[in-house]
Amino acid sequence: MGLFSRKKVDEFVSPANGKLIHLDKVSDPVFSQKLMGDGYAVTPSDNEIVAPIGGIIGTVFPTKHALMITSAHGLEVMLHLGIDTVELKGAPFEVFVKENDKVKAGQKLATMDLEQVKAAKKDTAVMTIITNSDAVKEMGSFEEQDINAGGKVLDINVN
C-alpha cells in the first residue's frame, strides 16, 4: 500500500424508519439465504422510503417494488420494497426518482402504503442488497435495533 492509497468505503443508511434486522431473518429464502447478495433489512414503521446510499439510480422496476442504485465506488445496490410485492403491480408504491437521477443517502425515493401491503397479506420488509458482491472487500457489521430513516447502518469496504 502506497503512502497515498485510500480505502474505498461506501456508507449505508437505513431506507426506512423501523426495526433494522439481519437479512437471514426475512421470510423469503432468496433474500435470507443471500442468493441475490448480502445486505440488511428494515421492518418499516411508516410509508417513507429513502436512499440507503448515494449514487445513480439504475433500473426502476415497472411494478415500482424495487430499484437499483450504483454507488460512487461501483457497488450495485438493490432496494427491494416488501416480499412478493411484485404481485401488487405497483399499486402500493409511489416512486419519486427515475433512471439516471443522482441521489444522496437519506434522500426520499418512494412511498410504500404499508396498510395496502399488509391487506394483501405481504411482508413489508425493505431489503438493501449488494448484488455485485465480488466488488465487496469487507462487509461491515451492525446490531439489530430500532432505527430512523437515514440512520447509519454500516460501512462497506469496496475493492
Q: Kindly list the catalytic residues.
A: 80
d(CA 38, CA 128): 8
Non-local CB neighbours of 80 within 8 Å, separated by 6+ positions: 31, 65, 66, 126, 127, 129
Cβ(125)–Cβ(18) below 8 Å: no
Q: Which of 33, 24, 11 is nearest to 144 (CA)?
A: 24
User: Rounded to an integer, what distance in angstroms lies between the CA atom of residue 29 and that of residue 33?
Assistant: 5
